Amino acid sequence: MFLGPVYVLVYCAAMVAANLIVWWLGPWVSPINSFFLIGLDLTLRDKIHDHFNGNPFALAIIVLVACLATYFINPAADKIAAASAISFSAAALVDWLAYTLLRGRSWMQRVNGSNVAGAAVDSVLFPSIAFGVFMPAIIALQFAAKVGGGALWSIFFRRVSGCVRDAESISRGSKRPAS
């Protein structure tokens, strides 16, 4: 599907934006970032997983590139970039494993199930590493926001994927879109 590179670019842009916003505004903005940007990243991980046929190294490289981009855009955000690299890598591994183990389930069940697992890991690691303190309220708010945001993004991407399949079907000369 032609959207694979777009998913990678959006994933990186959202990750860099989330890192720089947290660096600029501090921990209080984490739950807002978590809903809009990290929920997006969690869901895109699974689209990227599908695009690269489940290759975990592809996502690891993408995470590393996004964290390096954060650092190069603003070297003062080095602690945020490092925390992001560690937490996103650990969460991506857990997300990849959950998504793989849920094979045979519907895409919505797989993506949201893996989002819960990835969100749990990322929500504990990121604020603890980035700010050097364990913040239970921020962790809980981030977790809820990531899972909720990921669920909304999964609905969006399910619809986008359906539209793309329909357009591809029409372009191949089918009279009606594939179901």
CA–CA distance from 19 to each of 107, 168, 173 (Å)? 28, 36, 44
Between CA 132 and CA 19, with CA 113 as vertex, the angle to 5 degrees is 35
52 vs 31: CA distance, rounded Å: 30
- pTM of the complete model: 0.85
55-113 pLDDT, tens per residue?
Answer: 888 888 888 888 889 889 989 889 998 999 899 889 989 999 999 999 999 999 999 99
Confidence of residue 169 (pLDDT cuts 50, 70, 90): low
2-17 pLDDT, tens per residue?
Answer: 678 888 999 999 999 9
**What is the residue extent of each domain of the chain?**
4-171
Per the listing, tokens 């964290």 go with 67
46 vs 95: CA distance, rounded Å: 8
pLDDT at position 54 is 84
Q: Please, which residues have CB within 8 angstroms of residue 115's CB and are 6 or more apart in sequence?
A: 39, 42, 43, 46, 95, 146, 147, 150, 151, 154
Which of 147, 145, 83, 149 has its CA nearest to residue 114?
147
pLDDT at position 171 is 60
Overall average pLDDT of the 129-134 stretch: 92
